[in-house]
Amino acid sequence: MRNNPPLAAIVEDDLFLADIYSDTLKGAGFDVTLFHDGEIAMQEVKKLNSDLIVLDLNLPKYSGIEIYRDLRSHPETAETWVLIVTANPAQAAELTKSEVDAQNLLILSKPISVDQLDQLAQRLVFRK
Amino acid sequence: MTLNLNPTTGLITLDNPRGWWFWPHVAYAYTFLLLGTYLLLQEYWTKKEVYRSQIFTNIVAILLPWISNGIIVSGVFPNVPFDFTSLTFSVTVLILGWNFLRYGFLDLLPVAHRAIVESIADAVIVLDTDLRIVDLNPAAWELFRLKNNQVIGKSFESVLQPKIQIGLQALRQHGYHKQITLETTGQPVKWLDLYISSLRDPSTQGGHIITLRDVTSLKENEAALAIARDEAMQANNFKTQLLANVSHELRTPLGVIMGYTDLIMRKSYGQINEKQAATLGRIRESTEYLDGLVSELLDQAQLDSGKLQLVETPFEPREVFGKTANQLSVLAEAKKLNFQLIISDDLPNSIVGDSQRIKQILVNLISNAIKFTENGGVTAKLFKADAARWKI
């Protein structure tokens, strides 16, 4: 069941980017919870029951990949849509390779446009 | 002793009656003849085929005085008018002389062989079957700082084994090769290539030859090359890492510029006038251009570092392509574009290749197509180009 309004968790250590994602998703009708730190995100995101998780890969303490794998190991977040955003295409390629069979996962290279994020978020969540 | 004129032949003969000393002299002469013949016969059996005709001629030469003197001494033909032993000796000398010329006894080969062993830079040590040192060339004395008379006849174990660590069993292995180090006081460590060959000539007792070649300068060059190669690789890795970091560091602020520009253009932060919108459009375009440059830089760095390796395994192409298409269709839908993946019917159920890389190519191709298509749709087609190739 989708939250009303839908809830998005944003995990991004760059404050400006987090702000941009947040403003974009709020504009798309989402409630937003922000995380700037891998360790807190690791503990909290899975408890949120969010409809969409935007996840940066390079984070302090825990990497986005570790958080992603942890999310998938919990039934509550096993099928939540995850948008992984990374500035490192090699890392994106590596993840594309290891997660060939992953469902409800999109890997995007930075920078992503506001339009792209807006449209993807709406499409993913409202299609659910 | 009397001189006689032979009336039939007309020759003057010296009649020399046999005294008591005659038989000891015969015994003495025959002992040496016997010994010489024995040695030649032994040579005949032990030498290689190529030397046998030469030895055979020598045996013939030595048998002539045997036969003639035997006839005279034994007296089996009493009518022989004179002792022709000396005549047969002349024939023997002629045969031996012919042999000398024909088989090149005086050739330089053996002398040259010895000279080579004496003068080559490689150390050569000859051991007998009991692993005692029987010979060594000047290069070997020099290498181990030995004196010839100190070591000849001594065992390898006592003289050389403390210097070159090699098992006694290895010495008996024909063709054995090992690279060893030699430490001499007051000298830099030397690298040596050690070879063992067995002496297999059946005429000798057998034995072993150790050859040692100084390869220190080769080793040093090798090491210098390895260091240079490692440094070059390190520099290349550093360059790749640096470019990856720079690209990452550049992308984040680029994303921020693009993001805020987009948000302002969408009027998320309030109304903007036309001039402001046009200016923001230019900022957006320039940022995208800059981002393109950063991507190219990083791609090049990854290609340069040669990190790409293909893993070939059988996979089911319809399943892999289908899943990829499902994920990518979301991107297309978000932009209100049609997306279609057409797979030709004759595609086999299983093919061999690097499915992950093929998937990456599909993802990159199709997501780029979606990214740069504003209206209409994106179609990816997988078909057989010719007997050996498939095309996307």
Q: In the predicted model, is pLDDT for residue B304 greater than 70? A: no
The CATH topology of domain B220-304 is Helix Hairpins (1.10.287)
CA-based radius of gyration for chain B = 48
Contact B179, B192 (CB under 8 A): yes
Q: Is the CB of B302 less than 8 angstroms away from the CB of A90?
A: yes
B284 φ, ψ (degrees, to nearest 5): -60, -50
Which of B9-23, B247-261, B308-322 is predicted with the least confidence, judged by mean pLDDT? B308-322
Q: What are A12-62's pLDDT values in tens digits? A: 999 999 999 999 999 999 999 999 988 898 889 888 889 999 999 888 888
Q: Which two tokens stand for residue B375?
A: 């209206």
Closest C-alpha to B125, from B112, B143, B105: B143
Of B259, B335, B360, the CB nearest to A114: B259
Q: Is the CB of A111 less than 8 angstroms away from the CB of B255?
A: yes
Mean pLDDT of B294-302: 73
Q: What are B44-88's pLDDT values in tens digits? A: 887 666 667 778 888 888 888 888 888 888 878 877 777 788 888
ipTM comes to 0.87
Mean pLDDT of B13-34: 83
* Average pLDDT taken over every residue of chain B: 82
Query: CB-based contact (8 Å) between B252 and chain A?
Result: yes
Task: Please list the residue range(s) of chain B that carry CATH number 1.10.287.
Answer: 220-304
CA distance A43 to chain B (A): 25
Mean pLDDT of A101-107: 80
Of B291, B298, B302, the CB nearest to A111: B291
Amino acid B106: pLDDT: 62
Kind of pairing, strands A105-109 and A81-86?
parallel
Q: In the predicted model, is pLDDT for residue B308 greater than 60? A: no
Closest C-alpha to A32, from A12, A61, A14, A60: A12
Closest C-alpha to B67, from B33, B16, B25, B24: B33
Q: What are B208-224's pLDDT values in tens digits? A: 899 999 999 998 999 99
The CATH topology of domain B313-391 is Heat Shock Protein 90 (3.30.565)
Query: B123: Cβ–Cβ under 8 A, 6 or more apart, which residues?
Result: B136, B137, B139, B140, B142, B143, B144, B210, B211, B212, B213
Contact B212, B198 (CB under 8 A): no
User: What are the chain B neighbours of A20 within 8 Å (beta carbons)?
Assistant: 255-256, 259-260, 262-263
Q: What are B334-369's pLDDT values in tens digits? A: 888 888 888 888 888 778 777 767 877 888 788 888
Mean pLDDT of B17-40: 86
Q: A with B: how many residue pairs have Cβ under 8 Å apart? A: 93
B216: number of Cβ within 10 Å? 14
Interface test with B, best of A19, A112, A113 (most B CBs within 10 A): A113
Q: Is the CB of B334 less than 8 angstroms away from the CB of A123?
A: yes
Contact B210, B227 (CB under 8 A): no
Q: What is the dihedral of CA B54, B57, B61, B62, to 10 degrees?
A: 70
Amino acid A1: pLDDT: 60
Complete DSSP assignment for B314-361: EE-HHHHHHHHHHHHHHHHHHTT-EEEEEE-TT--S-EEE-HHHHHHH
Spell out the domain ranges in chain A.
7-122
Which CATH architecture fits B110-214?
Answer: 2-Layer Sandwich (3.30)
Amino acid A128: pLDDT: 43
The CATH topology of domain A7-122 is Rossmann fold (3.40.50)
Assign B109 a pLDDT band (cuts: 50, 70, 90). Answer: low
Nearest CA in chain B to A17: B256
User: What are the chain A neighbours of B262 within 8 Å (beta carbons)?
Assistant: 20, 24, 113-115
Interface test with B, best of A25, A52, A97 (most B CBs within 10 A): A97
Nearest CA in chain A to B243: A88
Of residues B143 and A35, more confidence is placed in: A35
Task: Please list the residue range(s) of chain B that carry CATH number 3.30.565.10.
Answer: 313-391
Q: Is the CB of B334 less than 8 angstroms away from the CB of A106?
A: no
Amino acid B199: pLDDT: 82
Place of tokens 């004395």: B141
